[in-house]
Amino acid sequence: MIPLRDRNPTYSTPVVTIALVAVNVLAFIYELTLGELDLRRLVFTFGMVPARVVAFPTAAHISFGNAFMPLFTSMFLHGGWLHLLGNMWFLWIFGDNVEDRLGHFRFLLFYLLAGLGAGVVHTLFNLTSSLPAIGASGAVSGVMGAYLVLFPSSRVLTLIPAFFLFTVELPAFVMILYWFFIQLVSGWATTLVPVAERGGVAWWAHVGGFLVGIWLLYVFRPRPRKRAFYAPW
């Protein structure tokens, strides 16, 4: 299922959502300017490497910044155009409404904390992995979790790729819970294979970001609805 747009009005300009998309795009353009060796060095330096976190307490050559700063920096790096466009599209569809309810500054803080939480969960499920995890998907997953709670009945025009492509309007909770089920099952499946043989998708970051986003929503206490036709939460 691919969301195309939602039928959920906003009453403020989503300046933080726009800024986050812009920063991610600019970071990716910078990646494109690098040669293969420099790009590899960038990803291993600023990507989230679970084994580096685990080794930090006993490895003198790993500083606190080397181990934990990538929890933040990894959110702004992507592994290709499809990776970038997928994350930014989901952020654009769901981020504006969550920002509208949280306010600009609190939404930025929410987004960053959801991304940090996603990185922690990914690390816990991949303690010995030396592969760097990058991408905004953990933070975006947090936004989707918040959207599910805030606007479960909002209609989302969704593209369904089956034997042929067709679109249908679904309640947000159907589309988002289906997406979460896929992430959860895929994450569980990765636990059945050795860490070294796992694929490149950080499924547990998606699961963790989603659940952290739901929890953070109650911590941040979104402001009241501005219009009666907002979907209840």
pLDDT bracket for residue 65 (50, 70, 90): confident
Q: What is the pLDDT of residue 206?
A: 95
Is residue 160 predicted with pLDDT exceeding 90? no
Q: List, in sequence order, every beta strand (DSSP E) within the chain.
A: 2-6, 155-161, 165-171
Say what the pTM is: 0.88
pLDDT band at 229 (very low <50, low <70, confident <90, very high): very low
Q: Which domains does the chain have, with CATH numbers?
A: 2-220 (1.20.1540.10)
> Regarding beta strands 2-6 and 155-161, do their DSSP bridges make them parallel or antiparallel, or are they unpaired?
antiparallel
Q: What is the mean pLDDT of the segment spanning 9-34?
A: 95
Give tens-digit pLDDT for 66-103.
889 999 999 999 999 999 999 999 999 999 999 999 99
